[in-house]
């Protein structure tokens, strides 16, 4: 049955914490999954969360801490001493342990590593700490099952039994030579079905996909998606097996990247959380709003410069909204398609010239259809003289917006700037300004006889 956190249940837990009812708290938490307990901790004050977490089994607490939001985890662990943190770190996979320790002050980090009872875990953590964020080495965990290619199946099974104690999920058994170089992998099915005296060298698969420690995490995610992998071995430049990256870590990376792109496209300058203060949320939203307001004021200035045309044909004002909205929508649609194609690096690359030609053809079709619809409307409202003005303006705006939506992200990507910043309010505001200017210039040109 799915657990639903209610205010009544939260008050019930808070009361038990305040009264120190340890037995009730442990009984309640025993019936919940770690993810459910994480939801409770998110709603509690840090002091109460600290008390509740201290009552849990260390393996459960380790899973909860590893999956907490980084900001919430940092705030919570400020209340823990090094002696309290170390038992949780002992129970974590090495990659999760490194993520947690990297958020701690250097003194706390070194104290915790020194307090770890599992010295192999301490060694794993020290091996991983030197990798920079954003590369495969920072995602990998050291826990895996490796088998020497010269073993028999019977000896391999015994080795798996010993190594599997420290490995939470066994996705594959990696085969290495005497120097630790990755040769391939062998499935558990093959090991179970093979004869006991058979050699691993005769049954392993040497067609294995791997990445080096320095590869960007985006490339890691693409490889795992392309080949539908649950885990991916990581090697050094000599192709010696160092660790593995599991699918749960890649899902986290993909989710974080998607959230960042959505925030940028939406015009947010940083992360926004439900429990942020009013000022924090304002700071996240305000920069692009100010930029949008400035763009709108510039558009108003353009309109003000064509007061004489509006004085001659007042109906021109009725079409300003469709000019602005059409340009903004086309720009966002086009840039979104370009961003999608830029993130898909597994396919054949398309030159900028081909992209522009394709965009031009699509824009012509879309512009003609939208322009014709709006032109027909001029007859409905009794302003047939505006037919060519509106139709031509919309066609021009669609072409210009498509061009900007294509070129801007490509140029930003070429110079090393996140192309997602070309979307959202930026594209919309720029196209509003350009679209309105083009509209009135065309009106001025076609209605000179008025």
Q: Tell me: the pLDDT tens digits for 31-73?
A: 899 989 998 998 898 899 999 999 999 999 999 999 888 888 9
Q: Read off the pLDDT of residues 428-449 as tens digits, 9 standing for 90 and up.
A: 777 777 888 888 888 888 876 5
Q: How many CB atoms lie within 10 A of CB 315?
A: 15
pLDDT at residue 285 greater than cutoff 70: no
Selected residue with higher pLDDT from 287 and 379: 379
Q: CA 90 to CA 123: how far, in whole Å?
A: 12
Average pLDDT (313-339) is 80
Give the tokens for residue 311: 């004085």
Please report the DSSP string for 353-413 in residue order.
HHHHHHHHHHHHHHHHHHHHHHHHHHHHTT-GGGHHHHHHHHHHHHHHHHHHHHHHHHHHH
| Domains of the chain by residue range | 7-132, 146-255, 278-446
pLDDT tier for residue 283 given thresholds of 50, 70 and 90:
low
**Which architecture does CATH list for 7-132?**
Alpha Horseshoe (1.25)
pLDDT number for residue 450: 45
pLDDT tier for residue 411 given thresholds of 50, 70 and 90:
confident
Q: Rounded to the nearest 5°, which phi and psi values hold at 92? A: -90, 155
Q: What is the mean pLDDT of the chain?
A: 84
Q: CA 327 to CA 429: how far, in whole Å?
A: 9
Distances (CA, A) of 323 to 160, 337, 430, 436: 67, 22, 12, 7
β strands within 133-255, DSSP E: 146-148, 173-176, 182-186, 211-212, 231-235, 241-246
Closest to 450 in 3D by CA, of 298, 358, 312: 312
pLDDT number for residue 249: 83
The domain defined by 278-446 carries CATH number 1.10.357.20: yes
Q: Which residue has the tokens 């066609």?
A: 395
Please state which of the ranges 37-41, 82-86, 112-116, 269-273 shows the lowest mean pLDDT.
269-273
Q: Read off the pLDDT of residues 65-108 as tens digits, 9 standing for 90 and up.
A: 998 888 889 889 999 999 999 999 999 989 999 999 999 999 99
Q: Read off the pLDDT of residues 220-245 as tens digits, 9 standing for 90 and up.
A: 988 998 898 888 999 999 999 999 99
Which of left, alpha, beta for 20 (phi over 0: left; psi -120 to 50: alpha)? left
Name the fold adopted by 146-255.
CBS-domain (3.10.580)
Element (H, E) at 28: helix 22-30
Give the tokens for residue 243: 């660790």
């Amino acid at each position: 049955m799915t657990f639903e956190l209610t205010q009544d249940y939260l008050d019930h837990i808070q009361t038990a914490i305040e009264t120190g009812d340890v037995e009730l708290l442990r009984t309640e938490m025993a019936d919940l999954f770690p993810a459910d307990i994480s939801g409770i901790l998110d709603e509690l004050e840090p002091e109460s969360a600290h008390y509740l977490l201290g009552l849990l089994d260390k393996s459960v607490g380790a899973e909860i801490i590893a999956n907490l939001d980084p900001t919430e985890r940092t705030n919570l662990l400020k209340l823990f001493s090094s002696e309290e943190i170390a038992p949780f770190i002992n129970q974590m996979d090495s990659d999760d342990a490194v993520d947690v320790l990297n958020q701690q002050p250097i003194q706390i980090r070194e104290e915790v590593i020194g307090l770890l009872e599992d010295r192999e875990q301490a060694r794993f953590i020290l091996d991983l700490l030197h990798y920079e964020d954003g590369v495969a080495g920072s995602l990998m965990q050291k826990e895996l099952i490796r088998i020497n290619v010269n073993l028999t199946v019977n000896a391999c099974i015994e080795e798996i039994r010993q190594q599997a104690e420290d490995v939470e999920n066994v996705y594959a058994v990696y085969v290495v030579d005497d120097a630790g170089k990755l040769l391939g992998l062998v499935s558990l099915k093959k090991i179970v079905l093979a004869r006991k005296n058979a050699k691993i060298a005769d049954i392993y698969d040497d067609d294995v996909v791997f990445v080096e420690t320095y590869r960007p995490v985006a490339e890691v995610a693409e490889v795992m998606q392309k080949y539908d992998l649950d885990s991916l071995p990581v090697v050094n430049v000599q192709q010696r097996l160092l660790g593995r990256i599991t699918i749960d870590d890649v899902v986290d990376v993909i989710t974080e990247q998607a959230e960042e792109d959505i925030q940028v496209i939406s015009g947010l300058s940083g992360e926004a959380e439900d429990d942020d203060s009013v000022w924090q949320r304002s700071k996240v939203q305000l920069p692009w709003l100010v930029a949008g307001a400035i763009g709108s004021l510039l558009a108003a200035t353009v309109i003000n410069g064509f007061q004489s045309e509006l004085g001659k044909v007042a109906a021109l004002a009725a079409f300003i909204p469709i000019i602005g909205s059409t340009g903004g929508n086309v720009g966002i649609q086009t840039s979104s398609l370009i961003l999608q194609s830029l993130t898909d690096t597994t396919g054949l690359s398309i030159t900028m010239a081909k992209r522009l030609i394709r965009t031009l053809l699509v824009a012509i079709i879309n512009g003609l259809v939208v322009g014709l619809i709006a032109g027909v409307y001029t007859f409905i409202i009794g302003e047939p003289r505006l037919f060519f003005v509106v139709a031509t303006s919309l066609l021009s705006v669609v072409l210009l917006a498509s061009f900007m939506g294509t070129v801007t992200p490509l140029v930003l990507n070429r110079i090393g700037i996140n192309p997602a910043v070309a979307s959202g309010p930026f594209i919309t505001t720029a196209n509003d300004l350009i679209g309105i200017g083009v509209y009135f210039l065309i009106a001025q040109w076609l209605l000179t006889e008025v």
